[in-house]
Amino acid sequence: MRLRKLVSYGIFVLMLVIGISFTGIAHAFDYPPPPGKVAIAQETSDLMLNTLFAALTQEFNETTPANVEQGKHSISLIFNDKNKDMRLVGTVGPLRESDRPSDSFERQANALAMASQPQPYVSVQRVDNKWYYRRSIPLSNFRAECALCHVNFPAGPTSDPVGALMLRVPINY
């Protein structure tokens, strides 16, 4: 009799643990993050954009015809393929395959960036079971130095769209 109660109790505890686990998993999958958490991610994205823009501006200020290869290498180290949270994406060659849009968000964002009236794109999405605040910033041939590295660009600055900067900030909740 005591063994039967112990087994029954063990099964009850196991079912309770499984139920709580499934509830937690379902919560993470079914519900987007609350607006307050999205706002924090948006503010983080704003800071990230300011930091990246400052770094790019510094790179442009220091890149000359004499050191263009070092400048290209420096930018590729900042925007390396292992960092999925900040990417330069486009369809105007020359590009590496990894610089092309890689998912539906990036395809939509790049299409909006390449339109006659370029527009940013923002979305809160789940990627690999984690919620992210995602945004794109359209890019143009906005500095003369662009044509140093991208020899197919006309001498700038011009308003010609060339792609987008993609930012992705995890939302913790």
pLDDT digits (tens, 9 = 90+) for 4-38: 776 677 787 777 778 776 665 555 556 899 999 99
At 1 the pLDDT is 64
pLDDT score for 110? 95
Partners of residue 166 on adjacent β-strands: 87, 136
Residue predicted with more confidence, 80 or 168: 168
pLDDT tens digits for 137-164? 999 988 888 888 888 888 878 888 999 9
| pLDDT(95) > 80 | no
